[in-house]
């Protein structure tokens, strides 16, 4: 079943790539390029899943995830990161991330990560 996805990444290229990967599988309802926009769009669009970049200007993905999770503990957030550091992963989990995928993305991994968080929510 198609889910509503909010894509958050400061890179226009990565947002475009994610939209292409999700095309025909899920509906991208919005795009944000920093953590502040992500929180605002989350409130406005109420997506099923958020794909959240970690390193972004203005407010990073871990801070934005923490705020979204505080407002809506049932939110599903997948961290999309090029950072493979164990400490950073722990920080993301503590902020409430439900899963993560590592850049560079492979389509099956992205779809599986979304399926996993949707299933866990159900």
Residue 91 or 98 having the CB closest to other proteins: 91
Whole-number Å distance between alpha carbons of 118 and 120: 5
Asked if residue 11 binds other proteins (CB under 8 A), the reply is yes
Whole-number Å distance between alpha carbons of 11 and 26: 20
Asked if residue 85 binds other proteins (CB under 8 A), the reply is yes
Whole-number Å distance between alpha carbons of 116 and 29: 20
Which of 4, 19, 59, 88: binder of other proteins (CB under 8 A)? 88
Residue 73 or 86 having the CB closest to other proteins: 86
Asked if residue 59 binds other proteins (CB under 8 A), the reply is no
Whole-number Å distance between alpha carbons of 85 and 75: 24
Binding segment for other proteins (CB under 8 A), chosen from 14-22, 39-47, 71-79, 113-121, is 14-22
Phi, psi of 44 (to 5 degrees): -75, -40
């Amino acid at each position: 079943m198609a889910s509503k996805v909010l894509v958050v990444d400061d890179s226009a290229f990565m947002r475009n790539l994610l939209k292409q990967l999700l095309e025909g599988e899920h509906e991208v309802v919005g795009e944000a390029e920093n953590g502040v926009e992500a929180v605002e769009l989350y409130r406005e669009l109420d997506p099923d899943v958020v794909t959240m970049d970690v390193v972004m200007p203005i407010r990073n993905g871990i801070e934005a995830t923490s705020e979204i999770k505080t407002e809506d503990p049932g939110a599903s957030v997948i961290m999309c990161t090029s950072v493979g550091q164990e400490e950073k992963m722990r920080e993301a989990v503590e902020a409430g991330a439900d899963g993560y995928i590592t850049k560079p993305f492979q389509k099956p991994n992205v779809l599986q990560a979304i399926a996993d968080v949707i299933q866990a929510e159900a």
